[in-house]
Amino acid sequence: MSGTARLDRLLANLGYGSRTEVQRLVDAGRVLLDGVPVEDASARIAVTADLPSRMRIDDEPLDPVAGMALMLHKPIGVTCSHKEIGPLVYGVLPPRWRRREPGISTVGRLDKETSGLLLMTDDGALLHKIISPKHHVTKHYVATLARPLRGDEAALFAAGTLMLEGEAKPLAPAALETLSPTSARVTVTEGRYHQVRRMFAAVGNHVEALHRDRIGALALPADLAPGEYRQMSPADIAAIFA
C-alpha cells in the first residue's frame, strides 16, 4: 500500500484501538516516527511498506501496513475459519491482527487435518488472483495412503474425466507422482472441497495424512516450523505465479 492516511485512522485500522484510544497513545508520546514522538494524531502521513521500520509504538515496530501477505506453516488440528469451535488458524497471529481493517483471510483453505503451506492476506485483489482458475496456480500435496497404489491412479487423475462423488463436473487434469507404494505427490489446479482426499476415495484409497509443500513455485520454507508464519516478499508472491 502507498498513499497517505491520517495517523489515527491508520492505527485504528491496524487494530491499535479506537481513534480516541490512538489519540491517547499519541498524547502519551508512545508513537514515534523516525525516533521523534508524533504530536498530532490527525496528521496525514505517507503510508509506505517501510513505515514499520520508521514508526515505533511502545518501542515495538509498527505492524505491517495493509497490503500484507503471509505464508504460514499450518499445523494439523487448526481450522481455516473465523467462527468454528476449537483452534483457528487466525489464533496463530497476534491478537491485534484480528482487529485489522481490511481483515486478513486465508487464500483458500486447508482441512483441519491437513498441514503445510497456507497463504493469508488482507489484499482482496491478490487473493482473487491466486484462487482464480484463470491463473492455473498449481497446488502441490504429499499424500500418505492407507493402501498401496494400484498403478492406474496417475492416468485416471491426468485424464480430466475423474468425477468426485456428488459433483456434476469432472476434475481438471491433475498429476500424480509415486513416492512409495503408499505415498504420492499430487499436483492440482482446482480447489474443490476436500479435493485430494476425495480424489483418492474415488480410486478406492484413503488419505491418512496430507501436507501441502508448494503453491506455484513457492515452496514451504524448511525453517518455517508448524505454527510459524512470515511475511511474503515480492519475490515470494511472484513465485506463486511463476
Positions in the binding site for ligand URA (CB under 6 A): 110-111, 114, 194-197, 210
Identify any residues that bridge with 114 across adjacent strands, giving them in sequence order: 210
CA distance 240 to 242: 6
- Alpha helices (H) in the chain, listed in sequence order: 7-13, 19-27, 51-54, 124-131, 153-158, 195-202, 234-240
CB 28 to ligand URA: min, Å: 46
Q: Give the chain's length.
A: 242
Q: 165 with 159: CB under 8 angstroms?
A: no
Q: Using CA atoms, how far apart are residues 210 and 77, in angstroms rounded to an integer? A: 12
- Measured from the CB of residue 200, what is the shortest distance to ligand URA in angstroms? 9
Cβ closest to ligand URA, residue 68 vs residue 127: 127
What is d(CA 186, CA 158) in angstroms, rounded to the nearest whole number? 10
Distances (CA, A) of 185 to 30, 116, 153, 214, 242: 51, 14, 12, 11, 19
**Three-state DSSP class for residue 8:** helix
- Calculated CA dihedral for residues 15, 237, 171, 75, nearest 10 degrees: -50
- Comparison of 11 and 78: residue with beta carbon closer to ligand URA: 78
Give whichever of 158 and 238 is closer to ligand URA, judged by the CB atom: 158
Cell 491485534 belongs to residue: 96
CB 199 within 8 A of CB 185: no
Residue 5 or residue 120: which is nearer to ligand URA going by CB? Answer: 120
**154 burial level (CB within 10 Å; 0-12, 13-18, 19+):** middle
User: Nearest distance from residue 128's CB to ligand URA, in Å?
Assistant: 19
Shortest Å, Cβ 22 to ligand URA: 39
50 included as an active-site residue: no
Closest approach of ligand URA to the CB of residue 31, in Å = 41
Catalytic residue among 8, 111, 123, 223: 111
If the CB atoms of residues 24 and 206 are measured against ligand URA, the closer one turns out to be 206
Catalytic residues, by residue number, are 111
